[in-house]
Structure 1
């Protein structure tokens, strides 16, 4: 897994997990807006960006790779932030390995499986070639609020993404439900990490419902509904998300 690492070696570790169809570059505006020094760990997930040649296969396999990353580079725990598909992975990491997650910030993650996902995936398979069509990719970029400065990277990644990655990642996304470890943190070994669940007020009802499900399942978590934001907070309002992260990082990693 390709990992971009930046920031002071002794700064609080921050793992940023991108959504499906984009790559680690999507976090650049947030990192630029942060006031808190961090050691940022930004992977390109399988099938995306620099790892486009290795198809995405499952959340389980990807989460296992991310666990090894944290064991190696942040064994005392990191603030883990995930958007959309990356948000689901953040939930899995916090559920499976709470000792590696000092704090989880879950942005726009679906947590309710849809009816008849096979039909949706069949339609997606038929439409997969559209991802390589530049005009269609530009329309998708607009939906995700990709800024003009990052548009070339989005278009390049859209052209590289394989049908196998598209079907596997979207399939995992559609079938995702709250894992038991997330719902019962008090029963896990070690200190239970905190969590913040964030959703845009302008997102689909399914996404808003999913945010409530995640919040209600985890005692002590916080829920924040952001007015004026759709499915694309990190790119639509990077300044706002950076401000949230400044507060969370200070709480998870207080300075002596």
Structure 2
């Protein structure tokens, strides 16, 4: 079944591809929605049952009392349990990588592999942010610009994180424009707290899960060389995409999809558990 939509545990969930195919969970980053993955869907849905979520407060999901990363991961776990899915290949873009890492920490039975795309490994890897993002995300301009919900400003913000010219789908803009400034600030602060408590490589080292790390070699948000902090984690493969910024999903969807499908091919041998 393709394009099936449901609400599950306070989250908007979209299924693409054949339900009998091996499951692939896709989790977006801060201020985005499941529509972020749109450019990759043609390649992924040929071989996977793709499950895209809008995290609480994002896209078409309602706000939540808490945006703590472990709390968001617990909601995703409840959603997977409700669908009868386990041992899924999980991919997260940017801070979505924190959510799926927390998911693996809490429920290793649900996760067969992790793919972290542009997921900053530690606080010291964060670069000075582009001026457009600083204006959008911080006071005093941030709340004003956010209240206007200008599609032009949203497109400028997305383009500020890329390293090559891109066409930004309208669905991606709409998804990014749905979150409130207040919710975004809360989500960002909880992501920062999760990362400050313990780096992602440290967290992964305590787990036993195959991990793929994809980074743009020209990422303007995180120091690209910091991707190699993940080299210390046994069983982790690191791939840098030349000339790509923070959004490989948009800048290099074919190459990103190929890496993801190749890495998760072993998971495809494990049949999904359906309700």
- TM-score for the superposition, normalised by structure 1: 0.83
**Corresponding residue for residue 12 of structure 1:** 22
- Match for residue 138 of structure 2 among 119, 124, 131: 124
**Corresponding residue for residue 212 of structure 2:** 196
Per-residue displacement from partner, 1:32-53 (whole Å, max 9, x unpaired)? 1237421111001111111155
**Corresponding residue for residue 228 of structure 1:** 243
**Corresponding residue for residue 119 of structure 2:** 109
Deviation at residue 253 of structure 1 after TM alignment: 2.2
**Corresponding residue for residue 178 of structure 1:** 199
Report matched runs for 1:43-58 at 5 Å. Answer: 43-54=53-64, 57-58=67-68
Q: Secondary structure at the match of 1:99?
A: helix
Per-residue displacement from partner, 1:66-116 (whole Å, max 9, x unpaired)? 11122232543100000001111122222332221111000111221259x
More helix by share: 1
Cα distance in 2, alignment partners of residues 149 and 21 from structure 1 = 15
Q: Secondary structure at the match of 2:114?
A: strand
Specify every segment of 5 or more residues in structure 2 that has no aligned partner in the other structure, as ranges.
1-10, 127-133
Specify every segment of 5 or more residues in structure 1 that has no aligned partner in the other structure, as ranges.
186-191
Query: How large is the RMSD of aligned CA atoms in angstroms?
Result: 2.8
Cα distance in 2, alignment partners of residues 86 and 16 from structure 1 = 8
Per-residue displacement from partner, 1:97-136 (whole Å, max 9, x unpaired)? 2221111000111221259xxxx8xx72432332323432
Q: Secondary structure at the match of 1:50?
A: coil
Cα distance in 2, alignment partners of residues 47 and 76 from structure 1 = 25
Deviation at residue 162 of structure 1 after TM alignment: 1.1
Cα distance in 1, alignment partners of residues 16 and 153 from structure 2 = 33
Q: Secondary structure at the match of 1:69?
A: helix
**Corresponding residue for residue 156 of structure 2:** 139
Deviation at residue 220 of structure 1 after TM alignment: 1.3
- Match for residue 214 of structure 1 among 213, 230, 235: 230
